[in-house]
Amino acid sequence: MSSTNSASADACALPPVADAAACALPGTTGREPERSWTGPGPQQRFEVLRRARSIAIVGASNNPSRASYFVATYLLSSTGYEVYLVNPRETEILGQPVYASLADLPVAPDIVDVFRRHDDLPGVAQEAIEAGAQTLWLQLGSWNEDAAAIAESAGLAVVMDRCIKIEHARFHGGLHLAGFDTGVISSRRQLLAR
C-alpha cells in the first residue's frame, strides 16, 4: 500500500475509546452505559396490558403540555383501566384525586407507569414492589437497568423506554401516525363523504 493510501486509511480509522466523547451526540457525555437489558417483545407487552386492571401514574402532572397529562387523559378516556395518579404536590388532576405516594393508593396497582427523573427510578422501583405492583413501566426515554434489576428480582415484569399510551393504542387499533386515537379499528382506509 502506498503512503498516500496508508494516510487516508488512518484518517478513516475509528478514534480510540478515550476520544469517544468527541463523537458523542450533542447533550450527551459520551459515557452513557450500554444497554445490556433486553425488554419484553410485543406479545409480552400486549399480555401485560391485557392482564392489567389498574395503572398508577407516578409523576402525574396537571400541566397539559406534559407527557404524563396526555397519557393520563388517554387512559382515563379511552381504556377501561382504573387509573390512579401519584404526585405529592397535587391534590386533583383531570377531576381525579391525586395520591402522595404509591403507598397511599387504595389498591395494589397492576402497572406502575413512571414519569420521573433517571436518578429517582430505582427508588420508584422499590416503592412499586412495596405497593404490590405486578409491572414497572418506564415511559418513553426512561432507561434504568438498576431499577429494572430491583423490580425483576422481586418478580415484577419490566418495560422500559415505551409509552404505555402508544403501546395500548397500537394493540387496540387506534394508533394514527401522529400518535392520536383515530377510533378506526380497521386497517382499511375510510372513505370520506363528499
pLDDT of residue 38: 81
Residue 175 per-residue DSSP state? B
Domain extent, residue 55, equals 42-171
CATH number of residue 74's parent domain: 3.40.50.720
Q: Say what the pTM is.
A: 0.73
Whether residue 33 lies inside any domain: the answer is no
Residue 10 lies in a domain: no
Q: What is the pLDDT along the chain (194 residues), one digit of tens a residue?
A: 444 444 444 444 444 444 444 333 344 444 455 778 888 889 999 999 999 999 999 999 999 999 999 999 999 999 999 999 999 999 999 999 999 999 999 999 999 999 999 999 999 999 999 999 999 999 998 999 999 999 999 999 999 999 999 999 888 766 555 455 455 555 555 444 43
With respect to residue 26, please indicate whether it lies within any of the assigned structural domains: no
Coil/strand/helix, residue 4: helix
Residue 121 phi, psi dihedral angles, 5° rounding: -65, -40
In a domain, 54, yes or no: yes
Total domain count for the chain? 1
Q: What are phi and psi of 159, to 5 degrees?
A: -125, 130
179 within domain boundaries: no
Q: Is residue 156 in a domain?
A: yes
Residue 136 belongs to a domain = yes
Is 56 inside a domain boundary?
A: yes
What CA–CA distances, in Å, run from 53 to 109, 163, 189? Answer: 8, 17, 32
